[in-house]
Structure 1
Amino acid sequence: MNRQAEQPPLAADWRVAEERASDARPTAASIPDTSISGEPDPSQPTSGRPELRATTSGDATSREPLVNDVAPREAASRLREPGGPPVPGTPGSHRSASGAAAGRGGTGGTAAGPTCVIALDVGGTIIKGGLVGPGGDFLHTERRPTGRDGGPEAVTERIVGFADDLRATAEGLGLTPRAAGVVVPGIVDAGAGVAVWSANLRWRDLPLRALVAERLGLPVAFDHDVRAGGLAEGRIGAARGSGNFLFLPLGTGVAGAFVVDGRPYAGAQGRAGEIGHIVVRPGGAPCGCGAHGCLEAEMSGPAVARRYAEAVPGAHATAAEVVARVGAGDPVATQVWHEAVAVLADGLLIALALLDTDLIVIGGGLSRAGETLIAPLRTIMLERATVQHVPHIEAAALGDDAGCHGAALLAWDAVEVAR
């Protein structure tokens, strides 16, 4: 099934007229590679590379932004009233009460030259950053290690420092940053701009949006990395045209984003989609959340590598190498991979029993396995399904870069709200 072939032609700019916005959802290429395991694959910064072409409405989207549509016209008109308050739950409400953060960079208001936004996707192992123009081009991309071994304070400084360096890079390229988009893993209170908790990064109640805004002096959109990735896959990726789907990145960690009626669903406390912490193997491997046998502990990049090391004492192989050995016919790698895929199938069937979707989009580093992952996953799910309908499953169009694409989309949405 080629979902891309069903889509309408590309639009030239994100901020097309309101009446065209829901009809023009273009495709996108992704930012440079990382490994399947989610381990860092440091590369030199790149610039001048047009990698993302996206279209969105000039209207504000809600705090759980519409993926394949625009916000109601009356909400948009309220946002545009001079001095009027932002509509609760919109990207405008993600910013400080003053509407723009205070700091040395000012508000990022009118620009004399070309403009851009800063996009940051914080992962358990690497931070992906970029500068994105108003037409959707990634004008500069860069990756840095998260440095989680240094503890949450060191990780926080890496994030804020990376954002500041990207601002300086933008200015060096003659660009004027208008806003920043920052997306992070774990439990997120997007409205308050707080990273509540992360098993991998070990932070609690971190006011990250305020810290980045203070350093940059720009409006900052802040949200969950996987929900941002789901937003991007829905607007410009594999799920264009689908109003109800599950986006599931598999990398260093595992989490999901349920998109329901075109909106990434955050839940009452911003905790929806934490599929990685469904216990699928009671008494199994310890998880960073404190439980045992969670999906993340049994089927993630590090989990696959650990399983192979347990099966072949003394062996050291990344998840990418395990997948390569499966392709080469290695019987041990094949068994390890089959067991890991079966774990994923069980976790997805639990998720589908709770929320019936018409599509599953697999992203993250493990999505690079392609049909080596998707074909057996589909087969096992069909064998084990009871009341569940097994929907179409496909690899993410944006690969493991969906979160960075989503951060850019959220930042440009914030610019629109501020206009």
Structure 2
Amino acid sequence: MPSLTPLQKAAFDAIDTLHFGQVVMHHIYKYPLKVWYSHILDRLNEILQKVGVIGKQAEITKHYILAALEIYLSVNDKYISDSFEFCEKHNTDEKTIDRDDYKKVFDYERNFSIAMLIILAEKNGVDEEFFLQIVNDVIDDKALDLSSMPYPVCCRLTEGCYAFEYPDAPLGFYRELVSCDIIKCEKYSHNIDKYAKKPNSELSSLFIRAGLLFELRILQRSLQSMIPIEQEQKIDILNFDLKMPRIDRKNLADYYKRLIDVNLLGENPNTFITFKCKEHVSKKGAEDLLKSMSKLYFHKRMFGGSQARWLGTLGAFDIEASLCKEPNKAIYYELDNSFTISEKIELKFLDHGFSVAARTLYLRHKEIRKKGYPKINYYYHLLLYNLHSPWYLTGDFYDDLVLKCKEDKNE
């Protein structure tokens, strides 16, 4: 099999990211936390409809509002107070730390992050004054009471709301890339794809919102260089288990090679991108997004395996989700597989243009349920018991913990 191109690697980084968010949300749905998403989305949709912002522009505007709320909510007063007391206790300098000055640092970081977000929003047709007014109104909304939002929700608010609104995002994103002939898949046929569009049609809202999500994460990483911090920048390399499959180790190695190249040889670390989508966005817009991601989006894969196994991975999750709703229904029968969960998912994939055997889906689910989903549950519980932290610093910390500990959690 030929090596993947940088564009193809970026595509599967994107799919892995979306699938990771999908599985995290599946865990959140088991708990009362899920009500937060419907409350906040209903409120935002109500506000936008009231002022006449509809269609694609409503999707774009909603994304940036959610991103701003995520930034605002990442640090609360309790975190600032606890952090101040910790610094005061462990301060080795003779200079005293003033609490008000200490708070100003967090205000600066938050305001700077919002200012950079506004630059992106304005390029996609969102008026700054209108944007800030809605954000402030939502924050001050006593009925929503966002200050009490649990950390697992607020730290991933943008991704969580996206996964809530587009529950089949990974499959839909994959299908659009394949149907546009940006990446290849031998198991796809345009002729059986019920969602196929005419050539040069605009990308779906699902794809556009995903593109904006990746734009946001690239900005988030670039802010680590833009916002001055005292300690030197360094790259920590994960000490992973040598028992990890070779393809997974190669993906991790590629991640670190790119990270080193971009810091030493490539773009300015302050570089971020704009996913321009207020006008018509078709195949070229998707290709430009992936090209930018191949340079500036850094993601450690949470789900292993080669490109050929991705359809099975996505189908395995559909089986898992269906099993939670119908726990007494059979997943697969060798002799007659009619009316089973795997048959239902096989038919769903056919509607999207993909031919994947029910047995393949069943076997992949059996594998991932043992080795993949427990680490996502572990990730969720890490978030559940964590303190807040500045938005621009919430990077690879949890991903590294999950990747490092997953073998122990799965035994």
Q: Compute the TM-score of the two structures, normalised by the length of structure 1.
A: 0.28
Larger relative helix fraction = 2
Q: Which has the higher strand share?
A: 1
Greater RCO, 1 or 2 (C-alpha within 8 Å, sep 6+)? 2
TM-score calculated relative to the size of structure 2: 0.28
